[in-house]
């Protein structure tokens, strides 16, 4: 670990749990580093929003940014476990495959699938793979709630899937992708047929944590069962599920905040 990084983390650890903060010399002495080095690191941590300085005493203390990040991380990690009963019920009610994808840094990754279909054709992609952003309903559901400039950067970084590699209706231009995102944003959900793969229909909607997309839930199946009309009929049921999962996550976050203040 780089010395500066180690010292910066050391400062955060020293300040953790000290409600009134510490003076510069106390921090430097605790870590055994020069006060000039401690001051420089504190300035950088302050600029990044992790540390603030008390105006009256001049003490340095942790901001709530670390707490916020920790809560967001915990909420994201809990998404699979907390949502499982609700997603299992959705799969049972619709008798179709229900899938969950969560954000992992710059990507969205498939993490869970619940099979409701009891007979007939089934479609079940491997968990752990990365969601394709340019041509999937799940990708549209996420990108529609990201500022357009950032969404297009993410899509172009991943690459626009060709119709040879995806489905025959996969968007091939920025304008076509914009149109899908606009439609998704207006509807509150995304519908994709033959865009990700020939013969596959999907309806997808996002789950939010603190106003930001934490994951996407979708219902997917072969198009002989999930026609465009059927997908539209399932959309309200899916939206009720995403709203329920969002409430569950908000309640869990509220409990964590109560613990953090205790």
The token pair that represents 106 in the structure block:
């710059």
pLDDT on residue 145:
94
Structure confidence by residue, pLDDT tens digits, 103-144: 877 788 888 888 876 654 445 555 557 899 999 999 999 999
pLDDT on residue 121:
45
Side by side, which strands form the sheet with 212-222? 107-115, 97-104, 212-222, 200-209, 190-193
Residue with tokens 């752990």: 128
The token pair that represents 107 in the structure block:
């990507």
- 102, β-bridge pairs: 109, 215
What is the CB neighbour count within 10 angstroms for residue 94?
A: 21
Structure confidence by residue, pLDDT tens digits, 184-237: 999 999 999 999 989 989 999 999 887 888 899 999 988 888 888 989 999 999
Residue 16 has pLDDT above 90, yes or no: no
Give the span between the Cα atoms of 212 and 195, in whole angstroms: 26
CA distances from 208 to 212, 217, 221 (A): 5, 11, 24
Kindly report the pTM of this predicted structure.
Answer: 0.65
Residue 109 belongs to what H/E stretch?
A: strand 107-115
Average pLDDT over residues 246-260: 63
What does R_g of the chain's alpha carbons equal in angstroms?
23
What is the CB neighbour count within 10 angstroms for residue 42?
A: 20
Give the span between the Cα atoms of 177 and 155, in whole angstroms: 9
The token pair that represents 102 in the structure block:
């969560």
- Cα angle value 253/258/261 (rounded, 5°): 125
Domains and CATH numbers, the chain: 3-63 (1.10.10.10), 68-257 (3.30.450.40)
Bigger pLDDT: 32 vs 80: 32
pLDDT on residue 67:
66
Query: Residue 108: which of 144, 140, 132, 135 has the closest Cα?
Result: 132
Query: Residue 57: which of 81, 34, 26, 86 has the closest Cα?
Result: 26
Question: pLDDT grade, residue 74 (50/70/90)?
Answer: very low
Bigger pLDDT: 89 vs 118: 89
């Amino acid at each position: 670990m780089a010395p500066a990084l180690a010292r910066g983390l050391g400062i955060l650890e020293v300040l953790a749990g000290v409600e009134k903060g510490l003076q510069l010399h106390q921090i430097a002495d605790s870590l055994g580093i020069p006060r000039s080095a401690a001051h420089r690191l504190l300035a950088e941590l302050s600029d990044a929003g992790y540390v603030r300085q008390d105006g009256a005493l001049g003490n340095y203390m942790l901001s709530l940014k670390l707490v916020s990040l920790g809560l967001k991380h915990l909420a994201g990690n809990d998404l699979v476990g907390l949502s499982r009963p609700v997603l299992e019920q959705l799969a049972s009610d619709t008798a179709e495959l229900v899938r969950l994808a969560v954000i992992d840094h710059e990507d969205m990754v498939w993490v869970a699938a619940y099979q409701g279909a009891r007979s007939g054709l089934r479609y079940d992609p491997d968990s752990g793979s990365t969601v394709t952003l340019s041509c999937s309903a799940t990708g549209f559901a996420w990108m529609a709630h990201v500022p357009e400039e950032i969404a297009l950067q993410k899509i172009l970084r991943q690459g626009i899937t060709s119709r040879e590699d995806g489905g025959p209706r996969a968007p091939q231009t920025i304008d076509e992708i914009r149109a899908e995102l606009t439609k998704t944003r207006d509807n509150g959900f995304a519908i994709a047929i033959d865009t990700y793969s020939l013969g596959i229909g999907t309806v997808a909607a996002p789950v939010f944590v603190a106003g930001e997309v934490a994951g996407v839930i979708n219902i997917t199946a072969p198009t002989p069962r999930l026609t465009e009309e059927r997908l539209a009929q399932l959309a309200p049921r899916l939206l009720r599920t995403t709203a329920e999962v969002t409430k569950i996550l908000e309640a869990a976050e509220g409990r964590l905040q109560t613990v953090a203040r205790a």
